[in-house]
Structure 1
Amino acid sequence: MQFIMTRRAMTRSLATLALIGTALSGLPGAALAQTSLRLAVPDPIGSSVGRAATRFSELVEEKTDGEVTVEVFPDGVLFGGDQNAAINQLGAGSLDGLILASSVYASFEPRMNAISLPYLFSDYDQLQSYLAGEPGDELMASLDRLGVKGLGFFLRTFRNVTTRDTAITTAEDFDGVTLRTPNNALFVSLFEALGANPTPMAFSEVYSALQLGAIDGQENPVEVPLNNKFAEVQGQLNMTQHVADSFLLALSNGAWERIPEEQREAVQEAADEMIEAHNSEEIAAEQDIITQLQEQGMQVNQFADGELARVQEIARGIYPQFEEQIGAEFMQKSLDFVQQ
């Protein structure tokens, strides 16, 4: 008898809770978000990409009146720091969203390598126009076959080489320098052509390798050595500006389809607004970051007169190696775009 009474009491309680829940759902602000997404980024939350992700999250919540929310997970925690694995997970739908460099996507979509052709872009205006223009649209569309919905490219500042002791001011200064590069054939070919010893390595291993002297240096936009305290193990910041790169904000197709159709335009607007603001801030912050690295003890080096042109000539000599991989038509489209 006691058991029957308890079941009845429980039934009445559950019914009461259901009624209360139904009533509360009609109150302003009481409804939970209809769609909650998890966005993975490879770097700390205070980094450039972390701040961009946070701003995107804020804008999505604002523009959808809270019906769509985005939770940011920094430091690669959702994909174990393996960036290639992250793209596989995104395409499979086990990641909702991801911000990652276009140079990593190049392992899955070779046309992405066009962005990183060395010394393709003369300045940031040209890079932004490319990413927002017809070439960028074609690259974005290429993600469909991976099961990925691209929301937009946003720029990174040009990549530069840091070294422990070697100041790079001439083409010959690359000779014999062991540099960590991404696991990307274009980067490897570039530094081989310049006479360096490129060493592909997971980024999570770079600080230790620099500290132990297993490698002499690395190459990245200047915010990377700042955020990762490379000034502790690197003495030279060489303003080579050899390669452009960009970040790509993307969702899995499954995550995109979970967003109510009437809210998708708002999510895209959030991405567009974040990208426009981020690009301006990123360019403006570059010199401040260089100053901070100087204050931390790094020496900033520029190419000597005439040396940039020599390095550019050597670097552009690798273009034919990647024509078949990128596709002759898309490579020519890219070259024509920057020569307009």
Structure 2
Amino acid sequence: MKTTIKKLLVSAVMTAGLVAGTSSADTIRLSTTVSDSSNWVKAANKFKELVEARSEGEHKVEVYANGTLVSGNDRVELEMAQAGAVDIIMKSTPWLSQLNPDFIVVSMPWIFPDTDAAMAVMDGPVGDKLSAKLESQGIRALAWGSGSFFQLYTNPGPIETVDDIAGVKIRTPGLELYLNSWSSIGSVPVAMSFAEVFSALQAGAIDGGISPIPLIYSSRFYEVSKNISMVNFSFEAIGMLASNVFWARLSDDDKALVAQAAKDAMIHQREVAASEETELARVMEASGVSIHTPSEEALAGFKAKVAPVYAEFKEKVGAELVSEVEAQVKALSH
């Protein structure tokens, strides 16, 4: 596996070098592995627009979506950023937890009541602490956006109570937190490559999974899984991250310009993500998908099942950090 990644990295760096060779020294290369229809890329394009306008054309931004610079490989993309072969990348907090386990705090089940609370935490002291953890990894967090909450999509359904999901095979990201949580709820969690999910749904190898609404739509899972339960299980934030190598070559004025453009671009991304939540749910309903919001009582049944896993991971992540997030969320509700 390491040899394969190394080969991909060499190939990707060579590709980036060829691209850079046709650009000016003031070109900023931004790479992401997500689809060019994603709200992540809308943020990247907004960043491009802002940097080029505010620098009066001194800086150009080239956006590479769909993993075109990195053969679709997230690990290669990170290593390119660390090496300075690409200037800016975008990554979700579940993925970043592979670099530093503190990022799992963002994914804790039902730790956030809504997106506003999650973003307030990421914009505050906790977000600053998490951002600081990345600098030793060769990257710098410029700004955070919303990846939305993970919802439950299934073939059987609707899933109205925790009893309805007993024995249902659902795909989750491979994080131990997710696998343990959905096992405790009573389902049969399955970790598999995201690229395999649609065909697995069609073949009946899995009965559903967890993903944010925009991803359920853009990946067409709703064409097979006709039930969605709005459980708001776990949140993910999206980081716009700069290579330390790139950052070091910027003047102080350019650092300020790039940082502010990133913040403004990710605020735009949050607005787009929020509008997509409503609009895409409506589109899926119109195509025959049943979207159900469990009652507070029903959700309490899910949360009760997950409570031991939450307690376990609170200790693993660090009780102090998790308690800090809990306290900030509580303060926001008053």
With the shorter chain as reference, the TM-score category is 0.7 to 0.9
Structure 2 counterparts to residues 5-20 of structure 1, below 5 A: none
- Return the alpha-carbon distance in structure 1 between the equivalents of residues 207 and 235 of structure 2: 22
Structure 2 counterparts to residues 99-138 of structure 1, below 5 A: 99-138=90-129
CA deviations 1:45-75 (Å, max 9, x no partner) are 1211111111111111112222222211112
* Alpha carbons of structure 1 residues 195 and 87: separation in structure 2 relative to 1, 3 Å: farther
Compute the TM-score of the two structures, normalised by the length of structure 1: 0.85
Please list every run of 5 or more consecutive structure 2 residues that lacks an aligned counterpart in the other structure: 1-22
- Return the alpha-carbon distance in structure 2 between the equivalents of residues 234 and 252 of structure 1: 39
Offset at residue 305 of structure 1 (A): 5.8
**Aligned pair partner of 1:293 in 284, 295, 312:** 284
Offset at residue 86 of structure 1 (A): 3.0
Task: Please name the residue that 1:259 is paired with.
Answer: 250
How many pairs are equivalent? 309
Offset at residue 316 of structure 1 (A): 3.4
CA deviations 1:197-232 (Å, max 9, x no partner) are 222222122222222222111211101121122222
Offset at residue 152 of structure 1 (A): 1.1
In the alignment, is residue 336 of structure 1 matched against residue 322 of structure 2?
Answer: no
1:142 is aligned with what amino acid?
A: K
* Alpha carbons of structure 1 residues 275 and 305: separation in structure 2 relative to 1, 3 Å: closer
- Return the alpha-carbon distance in structure 1 between the equivalents of residues 73 and 156 of structure 2: 30
Query: Greater Rg, structure 1 or structure 2?
Result: 1
Please list every run of 5 or more consecutive structure 1 residues that lacks an aligned counterpart in the other structure: 1-31
**Aligned pair partner of 1:182 in 157, 173, 187:** 173
* Alpha carbons of structure 1 residues 199 and 83: separation in structure 2 relative to 1, 3 Å: farther
1:81 is aligned with what amino acid?
A: G
Offset at residue 33 of structure 1 (A): 4.6
- Return the alpha-carbon distance in structure 2 between the equivalents of residues 88 and 34 of structure 1: 21
Sequence identity of aligned pairs in percent? Answer: 27
- Return the alpha-carbon distance in structure 2 between the equivalents of residues 75 and 37 of structure 1: 17
Contact 1:111 1:325 in 2 (8 A): no
- Return the alpha-carbon distance in structure 2 between the equivalents of residues 77 and 204 of structure 1: 16
Q: CA RMSD in A?
A: 1.8
CA deviations 1:130-170 (Å, max 9, x no partner) are 01011011101110111111101111221101112332110
* Alpha carbons of structure 1 residues 325 and 77: separation in structure 2 relative to 1, 3 Å: farther
**Aligned pair partner of 2:38 in 28, 37, 47:** 47
* Alpha carbons of structure 1 residues 167 and 88: separation in structure 2 relative to 1, 3 Å: farther
- Return the alpha-carbon distance in structure 2 between the equivalents of residues 215 and 325 of structure 1: 29
Task: Please name the residue that 1:6 is paired with.
Answer: none
Compute the TM-score of the two structures, normalised by the length of structure 2: 0.87
**Tell me, what secondary structure is at the counterpart of 1:150?**
strand
Task: Please name the residue that 1:151 is paired with.
Answer: 142
**Aligned pair partner of 2:160 in 166, 169, 175:** 169
Contact 2:81 2:87 in 1 (8 A): yes
* Alpha carbons of structure 1 residues 141 and 197: separation in structure 2 relative to 1, 3 Å: same
Task: Please name the residue that 2:4 is paired with.
Answer: none
CA deviations 1:250-285 (Å, max 9, x no partner) are 011112223344311000110111122222332233
Contact 1:33 1:67 in 2 (8 A): no
